[in-house]
Amino acid sequence: MPDGGTKYLAFIGLCWVFFVQHASAQDCRNYLQAARADIGRHIAALQRLEHEASDRQKGLDIRPFDFRLGEARKTAAFISDPALQGAGVSKDCRDPAHPVRRICRDAAQAWVEVLEKYVASPKPDYDKPRFAATVGDCEKLMDLKPLKSVIRAAD
């Protein structure tokens, strides 16, 4: 029969397992909120840049696409920062809500690629529905209203 010290250690070990499991579950539940807090304002900044680029296409804004491209690259670099990837979530999550950061990183990269095409040509050729879907997926996860713009061919 185990002595008092062994029972105590077994009890401590059992408690530790339950606390760790609870902490992991808490991280999994708050994953989407953590991602929104980390990158939400940067996604909104990309949305503003797209709105400005759409105005540029309509002749309402005179700033060149080069300027917007530089800003978009800075913002996309922050969203793609490896230090943020996976922050706020445990690898033990059975079903991590969505790969939010990956979806938004892909959307930011798609926006940079589209702007590069606008810098190279006044009438660039790119898959507008695919771009709109990629960026729209991120906007939905960030709880932002999808933007309607000529860049997405929805204006």
Neighbours of 67 (CB within 10 A): 15
Q: How confident is the model at residue 28 (pLDDT cuts 50, 70, 90)?
A: low
Distance CA 44, CA 41 (A): 5
**Does 58 map to a domain?**
yes
Domain range for residue 65?
A: 4-141
- pTM listed for this prediction: 0.73
The pair phi, psi for residue 66, each rounded to 5°, is: -55, -40
> Residues of 54-66 as b/e, b for ≥16 C-beta within 10 angstroms?
bebbeeeeeeebe
**pLDDT at position 113:** 96
Q: Per-residue confidence at 9, pLDDT binned at 50, 70, 90? A: low
Q: Is residue 25 domain-resident? A: yes
Residue 136 predicted with pLDDT over 90? yes
pLDDT band at 89 (very low <50, low <70, confident <90, very high): very low
Q: Does the structure show a pLDDT above 60 at 86?
A: no
Confidence (pLDDT) at 85:
54
pLDDT-based confidence at 38, cuts 50/70/90?
A: confident
Instruction: Give the count of domains, the chain.
Output: 1
At residue 83 the predicted structure's pLDDT band, cuts being 50, 70 and 90, is confident
Confidence (pLDDT) at 18: 52
pLDDT tens digits, one per residue of 91-126: 555 545 458 888 999 999 999 999 999 999 988 999
Task: State the pLDDT at residue 23.
Answer: 44
Judge whether 113 lies within some domain: yes
The answer to whether residue 154 sits within a structural domain is no
